[in-house]
Amino acid sequence: MTVLRVRDFEIHQSYFAPEAQARLVHSLREVLSKAPLFQPVTPRGTPMSVRMSAAGDYGWISDRKGYRYEPAHPSGVPWPPIPESLIAMWREVVPDARDPECCLINWYDETAKMGMHQDRDEADLTQPVVSVSLGDEALFRMGNLTRGGKTESIWLRSGDVVVMDGDARRAYHGIDRIRPNSSTLLPNGGRINLTLRVVT
Ligand SMILES: O=C(O)CCC(=O)C(=O)O
Ligand SMILES: [Mn+2]
């Protein structure tokens, strides 16, 4: 494992070894069997290119009513618990933080991307966000505290963990594109990104 720092972003490359990634995918399948992926729309009604679900006390929802955290999946079922291995990883990489209350699950097919944005729907922005990449590689762009300006990009690979704390917590970031067929972890390809968050 190597830890890289790009601006205030801390990138733990290969945090999860291949066997641990496979176990994680297995526990995510259980989560998704209870809380299936859905395609969110932006408040303006445009479908987002990623499909989403969540685990934990809260899941992040976007629909015509806006962006917010909700205690249940759109079907009404409560979000399943966050897999233990993710809680253990969180406690190791951000030992001073409160435990995560949300594990947002983003599923990218080979054409999906995520525009530059800040994560700021959480009540306490002093708490970090930690992301896990699984499956195909993704070009992650890191920007500034305000929109625009120079950015730096890095390819995130399966098993990588990104800690967004300090200035990186409020920095713009996004996914430009996925590199199809760059991993064999997921039998049908694509990428899963998990973001662990403290919501309240
Ligand atoms: O997919 C990623 O690596 C980043 C996801 C992200 O920024 C988010 O879900 O807010
Ligand atoms: Mn984000």
Counting beta carbons within 10 angstroms of the beta carbon of residue 74, is it exposed (0 to 12), middle (13 to 18) or buried (19 or more)? middle
Residue 27, in any domain of the structure: yes
Domain total of the chain: 1
For ligand 1, whether the C-beta of 53 sits within 6 Å is no
Domain that holds residue 173: 2-36+82-197
Residue 156: CB atoms within 10 A of its CB come to 23
β-bridge mates for residue 5, sequence order: 10
CA separation for the pair 120, 141 (Å, rounded): 17
CA separation for the pair 104, 53 (Å, rounded): 6
Residue 55, in any domain of the structure: no
193, 194, 198, best to mutate for ligand 1 pocket (most atoms within 8 Å of CB): 193
* CATH number of the domain that residue 185 is part of: 2.60.120.590
User: How far does residue 143's CA lie from ligand 2's centre (Å)?
Assistant: 12
Residue 63, in any domain of the structure: no
Residue 13, in any domain of the structure: yes
pLDDT score at 102 = 98
Residue 52, in any domain of the structure: no
CA separation for the pair 12, 69 (Å, rounded): 27
Residue 132, in any domain of the structure: yes
| pLDDT < 70: residue spans in the chain | none
List of residues 6+ apart from 194 with CB closer than 8 A: 28, 86, 103, 104, 105, 106, 131, 132, 134
Q: Hey, whose CA ends up nearest to atom 10 of ligand 1?
A: 119
- What ligand 1 atom has the least distance to the C-alpha of 108? 1
- What ligand 1 atom has the least distance to the C-alpha of 138? 3
For ligand 1, whether the C-beta of 140 sits within 6 Å is yes
Q: Hey, whose CA ends up nearest to atom 5 of ligand 1?
A: 193
CA separation for the pair 184, 28 (Å, rounded): 17
7, 168 in Cβ contact below 8 A? yes
CA separation for the pair 198, 200 (Å, rounded): 6
Q: In 3-state terms, what secondary structure has residue 105?
A: strand
Is the dihedral angle over the CA atoms 26, 28, 32, 33 positive or is it negative?
Answer: positive
- What ligand 1 atom has the least distance to the C-alpha of 191? 1
Counting beta carbons within 10 angstroms of the beta carbon of residue 187, is it exposed (0 to 12), middle (13 to 18) or buried (19 or more)? exposed
pLDDT score at 81 = 98
Query: Which ligand approaches the C-alpha of residue 104 most closely?
Result: 1
Residue 16, in any domain of the structure: yes
Residue 99, in any domain of the structure: yes
User: pTM for this one?
Assistant: 0.97
pLDDT score at 1 = 85
